[in-house]
């Protein structure tokens, strides 16, 4: 190996390029930017202002923050549902004056004051909700107008009651506790805000109501189409928002006990800045309590810091305006371009060297021939993409198709067909269990069982999650082929964990080893990954010793053997290291050897490209997917090999007329049945000189 090749290989083995793309797919990456801003702001103001985070300063800062955070949370809930509520500032002021008026002028008990104030806020929210939710007015303008109206009402109340409020004295410890008390060393308002934040978080992430809110914000029309009452959801968010704003006003009232004309003026701008800066999107669908909290802390620190630095009100509204504009601009551009960035960096090819391809002519065991020419077609044009074929004891053929059915062709002439079971997904590899039920790997769904009386049961659709994997690899994305050990354990391959089924060629371009082999144990119901980092593991076939299985790695052009039991437990041995094409399914033959399908043949250009990860990366970034280099799957063959890796025979279709593309084959009673994932037929070939009574099931499960 040349030095430069070695360097390239080391570089791609030890630098995890794929992590960047995987991190970008995570939702929590949205929180990273606000968190960085938060740290930066805290650092800057902490160093500019002496004692900014001292005990006295932090206590008053936190108490104010509790009220502010409630308002930001209120705004966040409305924004997540796709709306906006600018009236929060006025509702805050209304909550303040109403609480004071009820307490001082009407002389209600404190509990009743709380209820009355919250009801007042909820009423304002309800008006907004009815207008925006049910009458479908524009949220922005509507809440701007309610802002003005509520503000005018507050001014009117002020004129009427401010003198009485200032003159009265409240004789209630509980009231002062709201504004000045501590819970476990934390100011009361902070505790309230924390509780509201936790509840909001749980509701948004864990409850049906919260999911409805997120769905409505994500896509209003789709939410309506799936039966969510969009109008009610939107209305409800405004009611919640109004209530929370009034609660903040109440806390403010109990802290300061006075009403001024400028209470809550401009608060909506600060709250909006906080919400957007935290990463809650305008237009909805993206937002969380954590984002609201982060945004509120940032804005709180900045506004207070500016005041402490002696900068006047003009300066702070200038700064808020600039930050708001910048945050919104970043938000809009990030949302718009995130998927572009993702598609550019997600594909991360690595160094993959294949051994030299053996010849397919002359004395080579792979030499071309025309032995597949006499294949007869079953179900021609009546089946779309039988990836795998299997036959039961009564000689009926089963094959999956592209639309998620398992189709049965009835023996003996196979002219009659029916849908055996509609399972959905993309049925791929199949195997019969001891009791005659059909186990099937379904791309996009997992491992399923169809019993003899056609009952469809899910066996498993998840496995143990890797500790250090960034993407969630517990879900099965592309279960591919399976076989069943004598004790009933099911071993099945998952071709790739980084791509969906239709993106399989991209996995080849990457050649990273994203696949794995998983074991499902029906007696315990536990699913565990047994082998990881395989290059598109595909076919799986138990060997005759009952302790190991053979598996094919498509992009590695390799067949290996894994012992799951016995003295060589957990060992992997390569059986065939250098296939001339891409192996697919493996199945047992009647004489103790194995059939292997090659789905396509290697090409020198792609083989070379696999050693040039930089080249493939540039290709993936710069040109359209249609123009990328893909593995050739236009022609392939069937071959037979034994456990030592010796190739016994190879079957080709030279003209490419009957079966150019093969993903699977089964020997059954002297015939070979052939499936292909892009074919429109099942092939049947009469084999010469084989046991005409042999069936895979009987030989394996040993029943008559």
Partner 1 sequence: MQVFAGLSQERIVFGLALLLCILFAVALPGFLTADNILNLVRSVSILGILGVAMGLVVIGRGIDLSLVSLMAVSVAWTLSLIGRDMPLAEALAIGLVFSLFIGAVNGWLVGYVEVPAIFATLAMGTLVYGFGRYFLFDLDVVYMPDSALQILWLGQGKLFGIPVPIFVFAVVCLVGYLFLRYARSGRYLRAIGDNLLAARVAGVPARPIIVLQYVLSSLIGYIAGIVTAGSVASMNTRLAISTYVYDVILVVVLGGIGLSGGKGNIRNVIVGTLLIGVLLNGMTIMDIQYTVQNVIKGIILLTAIMIDTILNPRDEQTAQQGDI
Residues 457, 448: Cα–Cα separation, whole Å: 6
Find the binder of partner 1 among 43, 156, 307, 605 (CB under 8 A). 156
The 71-90 contact track toward partner 1, x by CB under 8 A, reads -----------xxx------
Give the nearest distance from C-beta 657 to partner 1 in angstroms: 47
Does the protein bind partner 1 through residue 311 (CB under 8 A)? yes
Is 153 one of the binding residues for partner 1 (CB under 8 A)? yes
CB 636 within 8 A of CB 654: no
CA–CA distance from 146 to each of 129, 238, 248, 262 (Å)? 11, 12, 18, 17
Q: Applying CB under 8 A, which of residues 80, 131, 267, 662 lies at the interface with partner 1?
A: 131
Note whether 131 and 137 are within 8 A (CB). Answer: yes
Examine residue 130 and tell whether it contacts partner 1 (CB under 8 A).
no
Taking alpha carbons only, the member of 355, 362, 438, 353 closest to residue 398 is 438
Contact status: 411 vs partner 1 (CB under 8 A): no
Neighbours of 159 (CB within 10 A): 10
Cβ proximity to partner 1: between 258 and 266 the closer is 266
Site size toward partner 1 (CB under 8 A) is 52
Can residue 336 be called a binding residue for partner 1 (CB under 8 A)? yes
* 193 counts as binding partner 1 under rule CB under 8 A: no
- Helical H segments across 49-134, by residue range: 55-80, 88-100, 110-129
- For the CB of residue 259, give the shortest distance to partner 1 in the complex, in Å: 14
> Minimum distance from CB of 303 to partner 1 (Å)?
12
CB-wise, 220 or 668, nearer to partner 1? 220
* 650 binding partner 1? (CB under 8 A): no
Residue 280, helix vs strand vs coil: coil
- Per DSSP, the three-state class of 236 is helix
Q: How far is the CB of 477 from partner 1 (least distance, A)?
A: 28
Binding residues for partner 1 restricted to 202-241, rule: CB under 8 A:
220-221
Distance in angstroms (rounded) separating the CA atoms of residues 272 and 287:
13
Residue 140 or 563: the one with the smaller Cβ distance to partner 1 is: 140
Q: Which residue has the tokens 């001014």?
A: 155
Looking at the Cβ atoms of 313 and 452, the one nearer to partner 1 is 313
CB of 77 to partner 1, least distance (A): 15
Window 266-305: contact mask with partner 1 (x via CB under 8 A): x--x-----------xxxxx--------------------
The two three-digit tokens of residue 617, written as one number: 């990366």
Q: Is residue 146 involved in binding partner 1 (CB under 8 A)?
A: yes
Task: Report the alpha-carbon distance of residue 168 to residue 164 in Å, rounded.
Answer: 6
- Residue burial 519-546, b: 16+ Cβ < 10 Å; e: rest: bbebeeeebebebbebbbbbbbbbbeee
Beta strands in 433-569 (DSSP E): 438-443, 446-450, 456-460, 479-484, 490-494, 515-521, 526-534, 537-542, 548-553, 558-563
From the CB of 302, what's the least distance to partner 1, in Å? Answer: 13
Q: Does 142 bind partner 1 (CB under 8 A)?
A: yes
CB nearer to partner 1: give 263 or 281: 281
Shortest separation between residue 652's beta carbon and partner 1, angstroms: 52
Q: Does 316 bind partner 1 (CB under 8 A)?
A: yes
- In angstroms, how far is CA 558 from the centroid of its own chain? 31
Label residues 232-268 b or e (16+ Cβ within 10 Å = b).
ebbbbbbbbbbbbbbbbbbbbbbbebebeeebbeebb
Among 214, 324, 372, 598, binds partner 1 (CB under 8 A): 324
| Residue 155 binds to partner 1 (criterion: CB under 8 A) | yes
φ, ψ (nearest 5 deg) of residue 184: 55, 40
Task: Out of 140, 176, 615, 628, name the contact with partner 1 by CB under 8 A.
Answer: 140
- 15, 148, 199, 256: residue in contact with partner 1 (rule CB under 8 A): 148
Q: How far is the CB of 628 from partner 1 (least distance, A)?
A: 30
The rounded distance, in Å, linking the Cα atoms of 8 and 572 is 26
Between 7 and 318, CB nearer to partner 1? 318
Using CB under 8 A as the criterion, what x/- string covers residues 540-579 for binding partner 1?
----------------------------------------
CA–CA dist 525, 523 (Å, integer): 6
What is the C-alpha separation between 45 and 42, in angstroms, rounded?
6
Sheet holding 479-484, edge to edge: 479-484, 490-494, 515-521, 526-534
Q: How far is the CB of 46 from partner 1 (least distance, A)?
A: 24
Query: What burial class does residue 4 get, using C-beta atoms within 10 Å of its C-beta: 0-12 exposed, 13-18 middle, 19+ buried?
Result: exposed
Q: How far is the CB of 75 from partner 1 (least distance, A)?
A: 12
Of the candidates 60, 172, 222, 312, which one interacts with partner 1 according to CB under 8 A? 312
DSSP code of 501?
Answer: G
Q: Can you give the binding site for partner 1, defined by CB under 8 A? A: 82-84, 131, 135-142, 144-146, 148-149, 151-153, 155-156, 159, 220-221, 265-266, 269, 281-285, 311-322, 324-325, 328-329, 332-333, 336
């Amino acid at each position: 190996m040349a030095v430069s090749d070695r360097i390239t290989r080391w570089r791609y083995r030890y630098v995890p390029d794929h992590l960047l793309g995987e991190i970008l797919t995570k939702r929590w990456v949205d929180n990273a930017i606000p968190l960085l801003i938060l740290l930066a702001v805290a650092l800057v103001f902490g160093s500019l202002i002496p004692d900014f985070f001292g005990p006295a300063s932090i206590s008053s800062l936190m108490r104010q923050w509790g009220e502010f955070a409630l308002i930001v949370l209120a705004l966040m809930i409305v924004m997540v549902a796709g709306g906006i509520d600018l009236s929060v500032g006025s509702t805050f002021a209304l909550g303040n004056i109403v609480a004071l008026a009820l307490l001082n002028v009407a002389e209600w008990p404190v509990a009743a004051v709380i209820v009355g104030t919250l009801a007042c806020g909820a009423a304002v929210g309800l008006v907004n909700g009815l207008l925006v939710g049910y009458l479908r007015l524009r949220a922005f303008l509507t809440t701007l107008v309610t802002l003005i109206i509520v503000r005018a009402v507050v001014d009117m109340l002020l004129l009427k009651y401010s003198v009485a409020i200032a003159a009265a004295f409240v004789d209630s410890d509980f009231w002062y506790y709201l504004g000045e008390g501590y819970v476990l060393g934390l100011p009361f308002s902070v505790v309230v805000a924390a509780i509201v934040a936790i509840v909001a978080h749980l509701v948004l992430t864990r409850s049906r109501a919260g999911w409805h809110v997120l769905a409505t914000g994500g896509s209003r029309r789709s939410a309506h189409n799936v039966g969510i009452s969009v109008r009610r959801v939107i209305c409800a968010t405004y009611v919640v928002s109004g209530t929370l704003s009034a609660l903040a006003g109440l806390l403010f009232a109990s802290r300061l006990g006075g009403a001024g004309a400028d209470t809550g003026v401009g608060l909506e701008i600060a709250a909006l800045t906080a919400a957007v800066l935290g990463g809650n999107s305008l237009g909805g669908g993206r937002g969380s309590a954590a984002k609201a909290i982060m945004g509120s802390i940032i804005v709180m620190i900045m506004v207070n810091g500016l005041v402490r630095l002696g900068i006047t009100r003009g300066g702070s509204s200038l700064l808020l305006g600039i930050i708001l504009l910048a945050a919104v601009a970043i938000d809009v551009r990030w949302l718009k371009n995130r998927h572009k960035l993702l598609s550019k960096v997600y594909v991360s090819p690595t160094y993959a060297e294949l051994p030299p391809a053996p010849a397919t002519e002359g004395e080579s065991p792979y030499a071309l021939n025309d032995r597949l020419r006499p294949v007869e077609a079953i179900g021609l044009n009546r089946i779309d993409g039988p990836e795998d074929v299997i036959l039961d004891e009564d000689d009926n053929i089963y094959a999956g198709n592209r639309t998620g059915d398992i189709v049965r062709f009835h023996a003996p002439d196979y002219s009659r067909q029916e849908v055996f079971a509609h399972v959905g997904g993309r049925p791929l590899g199949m195997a019969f269990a001891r009791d005659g039920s059909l186990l099937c790997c379904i791309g996009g769904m997992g491992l399923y069982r169809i019993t003899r009386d056609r009952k469809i049961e899910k066996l498993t659709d998840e496995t143990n999650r890797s500790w250090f994997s960034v993407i969630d690899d517990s879900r099965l994305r592309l279960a591919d082929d399976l076989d069943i050990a004598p004790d009933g354990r099911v071993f099945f391959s998952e071709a790739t964990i980084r791509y969906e089924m239709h993106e399989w060629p991209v996995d080849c371009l990457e050649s990273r080893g994203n696949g794995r082999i998983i074991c499902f144990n029906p007696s315990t119901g536990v699913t565990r990954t047994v082998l990881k980092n395989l290059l598109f593991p595909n076919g799986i076939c138990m060997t005759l010793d009952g302790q190991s299985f053979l598996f094919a790695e498509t992009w590695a052009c390799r067949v290996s053997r894994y012992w799951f039991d016995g003295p060589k437990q957990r060992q992997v041995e390569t059986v065939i290291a250098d296939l001339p094409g891409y192996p697919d399914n493996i199945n047992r033959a009647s004489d103790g050897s194995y059939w292997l399908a090659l789905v396509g043949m290697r090409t020198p250009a792609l083989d070379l490209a696999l050693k040039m990860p930089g080249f493939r990366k540039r290709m993936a970034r710069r040109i359209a997917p249609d123009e990328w280099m893909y593995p050739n799957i236009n022609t392939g063959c069937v071959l037979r090999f034994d456990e030592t890796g010796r190739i016994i025979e190879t079957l080709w279709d030279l003209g490419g007329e009957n079966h150019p593309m093969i993903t699977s084959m089964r020997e059954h009673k002297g015939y070979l049945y052939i499936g292909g994932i892009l074919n429109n037929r099942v092939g049947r070939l009469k084999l010469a000189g084989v046991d005409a009574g042999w069936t895979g099931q009987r030989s394996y499960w040993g029943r008559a």
